[in-house]
Structure 1
Amino acid sequence: MNIDTVPFAAEPAAPRTGLPKARDMSHHLNSITKRREANKLKELYKYAAIPGMIPMAGGVPSPAIFPFETLSADILRYDHLPLNPPRIPKKQGLFEWLFSSSSPVTDKINIPKYAPDPTDPMAIQLATSLQYAAATGPPAFPVWLRKYVETVFKPAFADWDVLLDVGATDAMTKVCSMMLSEGDSVLVEEWTYPGAMNAYLPYDVNVVGLPMDHEGIIAADMDKVLAEWDVEKQGRFPRMLYTVPTGQNPTGATMLADRRREVYEICSKYDIVIVEDEPYYCLFMDEYVPQGVKLSPVAQASRDAETSEGGKGNDAFLKSLPPSFLHFDTDGRVIRFDTFSKTSCPGSRLGWVTSSPIFIERLTRISECGTQAPSGFATALTLTMLNHWGWDGYVRWLRGIKANYRMKRDWMLDALADSFHLESDSNGLNPLVITTPFGRRFTGYARPNPASAEGRWDEKRGLTGAHGKPLISYIPPSAGMFVFLGVHLSGHPEYAALGDDATRILADRLWRVLAKHHVLFAPGWAFDPEGPHNIGGEGMGYFRLSFSIVTYEETRDAMEVFAKVLGKFLNK
């Protein structure tokens, strides 16, 4: 065998035909990244894989003394989660509790120390999974990920590739290490993920928050910011955009195809790299429909297609997902993060990057002197699970995950509707509804007391008489795990006396009062990259409410407590 032709996991995938190759993006690398060299010992791994080779080059322990002989796990079946769960969970009676099985149906997976053919690079075995390895991870995993990227994202350039990472936060840290220098400028959404902030802020960068609406970054506003950039006043021209385009954290906004295309074209025009962080991509759901309201025939047909079993349902699900920025990327300027945290488990610390050859190669060099490959336990168990389920099984699992989160979103929004009187700006009938630049669709007021003189409740027409002061505003999310809720703090009696910091002071007070009542929200200021915002109007304080982990009963209890606490807080 010619050792110069030995395949190696770190080598890029074969270019796809019929598509352009990525442009040269090396000018986006900082000076440190340009000086990085390949790990000379890691380069020897490809030779150690040659059959018959006596491996005396590396200081590696023998698998014979690994204490793990086999690794096994009981995993849920891929169809464990229902595709169309009930809006309101059924209460279990005593008879059902006594005689029904509480244990879900599971399958067992086993990983041996040695596979039947240990020389097969696609084999999953503990002898190699738990051994020192290339930073690219086990060769079988990139093969699976390439199929996923090709099928789901459909990149528009030929020579893209993937690289395993230790979750999206790890990926963001490495990308910042690769691209940023002190004094650079970074574009972000005007509300953004704090974990990403922690990665770029140490570079003393100039952070620019881009205006948003219900679909994320407003392309025209972004173009204006860049066209009017003043280097003397604002510093270096931006070279990086960080965005969470699906189920944006914290707002829940989702960019659809036309918006992503517009933003991509602006980034191509100004030569900006797009860092696309997509942990909630497969949690893209239908638009929220209030309880008791029927879906339109078109929406119902789409729901029926997605919730049908078999290949047609899988195809409908994949077609329903918004296109990735990769789908419009002919330059190779997109660096996309994906993760198993929301579709498997966060503790696996396992995700991957998809990008152009120069970025994947440089990120590999950074990984070699940092995290190296993700944990062998995590990669072995996850890949074995994926192979056990098969491609169609994994897509069916993703559909069940989506349905579960849609159900929990509806629980929270239904609970808000029961705890507040809501008016929707979509009906265009009520002049008291506050329509904001952020695209909020619902404004909430205190539930009226039918016996009071201020107003009465009519079952057909809702609240008649005075509405009182608006309390909350929000837009139902179309993806993700959060409701981003604004509180009208300007209605607080101390608002005017507190001066310029009134919104922040009152939001912090309210957050602490809610915590004392055992309801914990995430304060909006934690997601604010630049400073105070007036999105939605002067005096709006924001909170991120997560519906991902709470039960139906906990959701309803929390919203009832929230409504009572807020009413008292604003009427001191």
Structure 2
Amino acid sequence: MDSAFEFGTQPRHDASASLPKAKDFTHHLNQVSKKRAASSLKELYRYQGVPGMIVMAGGIPHPEVFPFETLSATILAHDAFPLDPPREPKKNKSLLSWLFSSSSAALPTSSFTIPKWAPGPPDPKTIQLSTSLQYQAATGPPSLALFLREYVSKVYKPAYADWDVLVNVGNTDGWGKIISLLVEKGDAILVEEWTYPSAVNTFLPFECPTIPIKMDKEGMSPEHLEEVLGGWKEDERDGKKRPHIMYTIPTGQNPTGATMEAERKKQIYEICKKYDVIICEDEPYYCLYTGEWTPKGTQSDRSILAQRLADAEKKEGSEGNAAFIKSLPPSYLHFDTDGRVVRMDTFSKTSAPGSRLGWITANPLFIERLTRITETSTQAPSGFATALTTTMLQKWGFEGYIRWLRGVKATYNMRKTWMCDAFEDTFHLEFDQTTNSVVRGLFPEGTKTITCYSKQPRNKWDEKKGLHGPALVTFTPPTAGMFVFLGVHVSEHPDYQDLLRKGEDATHVLVQKLWTELADNLVLFAPGWYFDAGGEHAIGGKGYGYFRLSFSIATYEETYEAIKTFSKVLDKFFGLN
């Protein structure tokens, strides 16, 4: 198989001589992937960039007929967002006036224009419309790959030498291509017991069963993963072979918000190495790792070392950037000495979803085969998206982009705080562990949970129960991402036992009713059953229903209004008013 980057336009990253090279994972390729040939037009790409070459071989439109003479953009400065925004807006101040340092200050911006023809001698790394809007190699513009290699090398620090990157049209596209690379019809695929439904929908046409792995406060359980893989018996699994692919969202897990730290990743990696499993690491929320929510008026329970790192993160310049990178959970790539990790990254959460731009980091065999898939499907991402994004990254530079990510992280941390604060102000909260009988079975044991009780006057302290009326909902403050995942104590509903006696799925009936009442009151949550991969929390399980609440887009006022409405609907739903 040919190298994916033999066009001579994408210089490789400098790999450490002390690191091993990736193992040969040809046996993981499906039969279609093994039979893919390089595009017959690839020979043209190899030669058309040679200086002085008169190109008459391809049906390539002349740039003179491109209607776009220039492409201009005004972008925010890399340090536009503050690193330590206020917890809540000041009264009578607009969003922009309190978000930025001065109410009279304009948003810090800069502008650039991309010409059709760049001045100076031809350079394949130059961004110009005559090449950006032209047919391109499936690997995309060379300068974008160069930046991504620098980013992966400095932030993820892969543990083997010959990894590489390949741009795609976002993580959904990347995952679809990975499925096309590795999956045979009927292959069983390992997932977390709660998972992203679109990821499952991608492989459903291949008739692939999901194998849900139990989760705890850090995500996927290594004990259950070992139990499933070690105890796999084909005759008890309809003849299906042991899974060789695992899909996981380690940071800000969607929908639970759980984040997997270094030691857990090492454990999972070693199990996957033992049973020869490919780890597909989907990380759209990686840079939105914000840590735990601290209630108002309390001190963080961080260690002294963690607090110093958090303080350093608020500093401008290279010291703050280094602290930010150090604070991120290490990627699976950092422990990957084999080349068995396929990591998916996207600009959707840190730049713009509409750019439809992301990339995969993987071993050279997988990158080469994925390139063949790309040549006959999407080809390179949109030239408009790559031209604008690459120019923006060049303008900011690596350090500027890291500073931008820090500002994005701080902004989403602020929004997470808004939602958690809204729960604190709207409900009576009890801070629990899942060993508490009230929440046992709702979330994995050991998880830090917050249980909400009504503040209705008639539900003041009940000496018999020792509670403020019945428990209504319990949630886990997320450590990353964009979501709060909560469980509703539907077993406390007055009709729950009657529905069970009638043989109905009481949990589903009541959660559906609550979801509809919320929507009728103009508050839309995502029902938990969308994300259930068939684990122990399947509908009709233990008397709990689940919702995923996003804090990513609502304003401060909308966030509070939504949680207040939620409280009123819950009081009515449980018959408390």
Q: TM-score, normalised by structure 1?
A: 0.93
* CA distance in structure 2 between the aligned counterparts of 1:253 and 1:481, rounded to whole angstroms: 11
Match of 1:552 in 2: 556
Deviation sequence 1:82-122 (CA, Å, 0-9, x none): 0000111112359x98x954851210011111112352111
CA distance in 1, matches of 2:103, 2:274: 61
Match of 2:317 in 1: 310
Aligned residues: 558
What is the match of residue 319 of structure 1? 326
Deviations 1:23-58 (A, max 9, x none): 110101111110000001133112110111000011
- Report the equivalent of 2:207: 204
Give the corresponding residue for 1:34: 34
* Mapped partners of 2:199, 2:459: distance in 1: 51
Structure 1 residue 12: Cα displacement = 5.9
Cα deviation, residue 418, structure 1? 1.4
- Cα distance per residue 1:466-515 (max 9 Å; x no partner): 43211111111100000001101111122223335211121111111101
User: Which runs of structure 2 are paired with 1:60-79 in the superposition (5 Å)?
Assistant: 60-79=60-79
Structure 2 CA distance for aligned equivalents of residues 416 and 354 of structure 1 = 39
Match of 2:292 in 1: 287
- Who is 1:23 aligned against? 23
Matched, 1:455 2:461: yes
Residue 533 (str. 1) matches residue 537 (str. 2)? yes
> SS of the residue aligned with 1:275?
strand
3-state secondary structure, aligned to 1:150: helix
SS in 1 for 2:263: helix
Distance in 1 between residues matched to 2:525 and 2:25, nearest whole Å: 41
**2:88: which partner in 1?**
88
Residues 113 and 126 in structure 1, CA contact (< 8 A), matched pair in contact too: yes
Does structure 1 retain, via aligned residues, the 8 Å contact 2:529–2:539? no
SS of the counterpart of 2:474? strand
Matched, 1:112 2:120: no
After the TM superposition, which residues 417-566 of structure 1 pair with which residues of structure 2 at under 5 Å, given as runs? 417-425=424-432, 434=440, 436-438=442-444, 439-449=447-457, 452=458, 454-455=460-461, 466-499=467-500, 501-530=505-534, 533=537, 538-566=542-570
Deviation at 1:529, TM superposition (A): 2.0
Could you give the per-residue CA deviations for residues 48-79 of structure 1, whole angstroms, max 9, x where no partner exists?
Answer: 10111000011000011111111110000111
Percent identity for Structure 1 against Structure 2 = 55
Which residue of structure 1 lines up, in the alignment, with residue 351 of structure 2?
Answer: 344
Residue number among 375, 394, 397 corresponding to 2:382 in the alignment = 375
Partner of 1:387: 394
The answer to whether the 8 A contact 1:183-1:206 is kept is: yes
Alpha-carbon contact 1:78-1:397 (below 8 Å) kept: yes
The question of whether the paired residues in 2 share the 8 Å contact of 1:522 and 1:545 is answered with yes
State the distance in 2 between where 1:427 and 1:544 align.
19
CA contact (8 A) 2:416 2:482 kept: yes
Q: Counterparts of 1:259 and 1:217 in 2: how far apart (Å)?
A: 9
Amino acid at match of 1:294: Q
Task: Call closer, same or farther: CA 1:535–1:301 in 2, change over 3 Å.
Answer: farther
| 2:74 partner amino acid | D
Given the superposition, is the C-alpha separation of residues 11 and 319 from structure 1 closer, same or farther in structure 2, using an over 3 Å criterion? closer
Contact 1:437 1:536 in 2 (8 A): no
In the other structure, the counterpart of 1:460 is none
Q: In structure 1, give the amino acid aligned to 2:480.
A: A
Residue 172 of structure 2 corresponds to residue 169 of structure 1 = yes
Distance 2:208 2:553 in 1: 35
Distance 1:403 1:93, change over 3 A: closer
Match of residue 405, structure 2, among 398, 403, 406: 398
Contact 2:213 2:535 in 1 (8 A): no
Cα RMSD over matched residues?
A: 2.4
Q: 1:240 to 1:270 in 2, by over 3 A?
A: same
User: Contact 1:423–1:433 (CA<8 Å) still a contact in 2?
Assistant: no
CA displacement at 1:221 relative to structure 2: 1.1
Q: By how many angstroms is 1:447 displaced?
A: 1.5
The whole-number CA distance in structure 1 between the counterparts of 2:308 and 2:236 is: 54
Distance in 1 separating the partners of 2:30 and 2:317: 48
Q: In 1, distance between residues paired with 2:183 and 2:438?
A: 47
Say whether 1:245 aligns with 2:250: yes
Residues 222-261 of structure 1 correspond to what in structure 2 (within 5 A)?
A: 222-234=225-237, 235-261=240-266
C-alpha displacement of 1:284: 0.4
1:110–1:269: structure 2 CA closer, same or farther, 3 Å change rule? Answer: same
Over 3 Å counting, the alpha-carbon distance change for 1:187 and 1:275 in structure 2 is same
* Residue type at the aligned position of 1:544: R
Query: 1:267 — aligned with what?
Result: 272
For residue 412 of structure 2, what is the amino acid of its counterpart?
Y
> How far 1:11 sits from its partner (Å)?
7.9
8 A Cα contact 1:154 1:326, kept in partner: yes
